[in-house]
Structure 1
Amino acid sequence: MKPAVLLILLCSLFPSTVLAQSNFFHAWEDRVRATSAAQPAWPVPVVGSPSTIVQLARTDFLRQYTSTHTLTWNYDNGKGVNLIPFARTEFDINLPPYIQHNTPKAADGAGDFSVIAKYRPFAANVEQGNYSTLVQVTFSVPTGSYKNGTAVSTITPTGVLGKGFGNFDVQSALGVVLPTSSVPQIGRTIQWNTTAQYKVGKYFWPEVEANASYYHGGSTNDGKSQVFMTPGLMISKIKFRKDPKDRLGLVLGTGMQIATSSFHTYNHGLVLTGRIVF
């Protein structure tokens, strides 16, 4: 008798569990749609940080020629999954990249793991003003092997602004990399990235980026600056289904980082990026 009662109880609980899970995912999807509808529909730039919040899975591939004329490949470039767990909020989980140096002087290995918390305080879609603002904090953990990452954890607060004018938009991000220890040896780095995009047709977004790093302190690069101009193209987004409520789609992009400063650790950096929006 007892097994029969237990079976009845389990069967009665099963539909409620399934319903709760269904409601959870429906609420999540509704939140993502509402959050996305309240901001511009610009694609995430090839390199720089966006001023909007997004939900997607992303991977990048970088090919760089170093100052010693060796070819380095960076697989994934520390990208991963971006989620929207709350309204106007994004949380990113970035997996360690794998770096291939193609020289016996440096060992191949994994880079650092990082997470990013983002909040979008003010934004409006194209009908309401076409702008977006965002603040974010990146926390990086030194998981790299064979000196393929930083020696200590870092915290990087960043502010991002974006404004659109019809099919044209500009987004600019300013942040500072703060080591949690060994500051005299590592120093602090100011990062400033600005992106200009223009929509052509249904899918194409040609862009140009300025990616700048300014080094303060540290035992190696104190007082130096590194600047790249990055022409690129984003293709966004190719939807998998015709349902207007379905967000699932593919975003592709590429760019070339060209050094414009006398000091640079690499040049002619080819960037390939792919994202699945969901």
Structure 2
Amino acid sequence: MKIPAASTFVLAIALAVATPCRAQTVSEFGSAIENYFINWFPRVTQIQSEQPHWVTPLVTVTPRLEEEVRYDQFFQSSRDGLATDNFGGGKGLELIPFQNTEVIVGMPAFLKRNMPRNTDGFGDWPFLLKLRLLSSNEEHGNYIVTAFMGFTVPTGSKVNGNGHSLFTPTLAAGKGFGDFDVQSTVGVSFPSGGLDRLGMPLAWNTAFQYRLFKYFWPEFETNYSWQSYGADTGHSTLYLSPGLLIGRIPIHDRVGVTFGAGEQVAVTFHRNYNHNLILTARIPF
């Protein structure tokens, strides 16, 4: 079929206009991606300047948004002689990709037990999403409120994993009073299956911290859980956790180091362990 000359002319004009527009769109998209990564650290600095500058507690997940690499080590012991060494504690990489948002990609912890034999292995793969709702730095109120959504992927071995995904919506808040601060979280875990075995535990953690000599943060935490479903319905567990954190010590430019230690001591009859020695090391950036 022969295309009329007028139609050919219109088609040629349309192609001539569309081609540079498409090239420009692709170029703008590439520039936007490039600018996003070039401005990563200035953007993070601005986001963090709008919140308090406390240190992250040993157990309680801070409502603050943080960028760091973190490794924890647990040494747990029970009255029956069972000892469990937890390598990693489910910690990993923490990033602030967008305004008021943090993503934590944990690494599955490796669990090693003295008994029974042949039960060593990796736990489930944890993730956490934070959305900061309200915040003010030390000069304008010294408080923060953040919503969490944690979830685990059931990648762990039969003994060390839950066998089902867990979803844990949490509300966190903190308030500072000069060199003293309180950070607290309340959340409930919902399993994707195995409800009778896993239940729906409620966890309430609170950390009390005081800053000394710029880098020293002695703290005291209460770590409480209550089982609302399953075979352990109504059972509660409370750990008292004194500790000391040292940081953030600058190394170079944005990079620093924070480390600390503490111990969880069970004060209730129902408990997963009697004592849990916690060591932590972080590289904030």
1:83 aligns with 2:90: no
SS at match of 1:115: strand
1:247 aligns with 2:229: no
- Counting only pairs closer than 5 Å after superposition, residues 102-181 of structure 1 correspond to structure 2 as 102-105=114-117, 107-181=119-193
Find the counterpart in structure 1 of residue 239 from structure 2: 228
Find the counterpart in structure 2 of residue 237 from structure 1: 248
Identity of aligned residues (%): 40
SS at match of 1:53: coil
CA distance in 2, matches of 1:207, 1:184: 36
- Counting only pairs closer than 5 Å after superposition, residues 45-64 of structure 1 correspond to structure 2 as 45-64=57-76
- Counting only pairs closer than 5 Å after superposition, residues 191-270 of structure 1 correspond to structure 2 as 191-219=203-231, 221-241=232-252, 246-270=253-277
CA distance in 2, matches of 1:186, 1:25: 41
* Alpha-carbon shift at residue 182 of structure 1 (Å): 2.3
Q: Read off the aligned partner of 2:123 and give its amino acid letter.
A: G
* Alpha-carbon shift at residue 177 of structure 1 (Å): 0.6
* Alpha-carbon shift at residue 105 of structure 1 (Å): 4.7
8 Å Cα contact 1:64-1:72 kept in structure 2: yes
SS at match of 1:122: strand
Change (3 A) 1:67 1:144: farther
CA distance in 2, matches of 1:83, 1:198: 26
Q: Read off the aligned partner of 1:127 and give its amino acid letter.
A: E
SS at match of 2:45: helix
* Alpha-carbon shift at residue 24 of structure 1 (Å): 3.6
CA distance in 1, matches of 2:32, 2:251: 27
Find the counterpart in structure 1 of residue 53 from structure 2: 41
CA distance in 1, matches of 2:118, 2:266: 23
Select 2:43's aligned residue among 15, 18, 31: 31
Which deviations, in whole Å up to 9, do the C-alpha atoms of 1:188-208 show, x marking residues without a partner? 000000000000001000000
Q: Read off the aligned partner of 2:250 and give its amino acid letter.
A: K
SS at match of 2:160: coil
8 Å Cα contact 1:67-1:265 kept in structure 2: no
C-alpha root-mean-square deviation of aligned residues, in Å? 1.8
* Alpha-carbon shift at residue 265 of structure 1 (Å): 1.4
TM score, norm. by length of structure 2: 0.86
SS at match of 2:46: helix
CA distance in 2, matches of 1:164, 1:222: 35
Which deviations, in whole Å up to 9, do the C-alpha atoms of 1:110-160 show, x marking residues without a partner? 001011111101101100100011101001111111310212101000000
CA distance in 2, matches of 1:153, 1:247: 36
SS at match of 2:230: coil
CA distance in 2, matches of 1:112, 1:185: 16
In the TM superposition, structure 1's runs of 4+ consecutive aligned residues that sit over 4 Å from their partners are 18-22
CA distance in 1, matches of 2:84, 2:196: 28
* Alpha-carbon shift at residue 20 of structure 1 (Å): 7.7
* Alpha-carbon shift at residue 22 of structure 1 (Å): 6.4
Q: How many residues align?
A: 258
TM score, norm. by length of structure 1: 0.89
Q: Read off the aligned partner of 1:71 and give its amino acid letter.
A: A
Find the counterpart in structure 2 of residue 10 from structure 1: none
8 Å Cα contact 1:75-1:98 kept in structure 2: yes
Task: Give unmatched runs, 5+ long, in structure 2.
Answer: 1-27
Find the counterpart in structure 2 of residue 5 from structure 1: none
SS at match of 1:33: helix
CA distance in 1, matches of 2:268, 2:256: 37
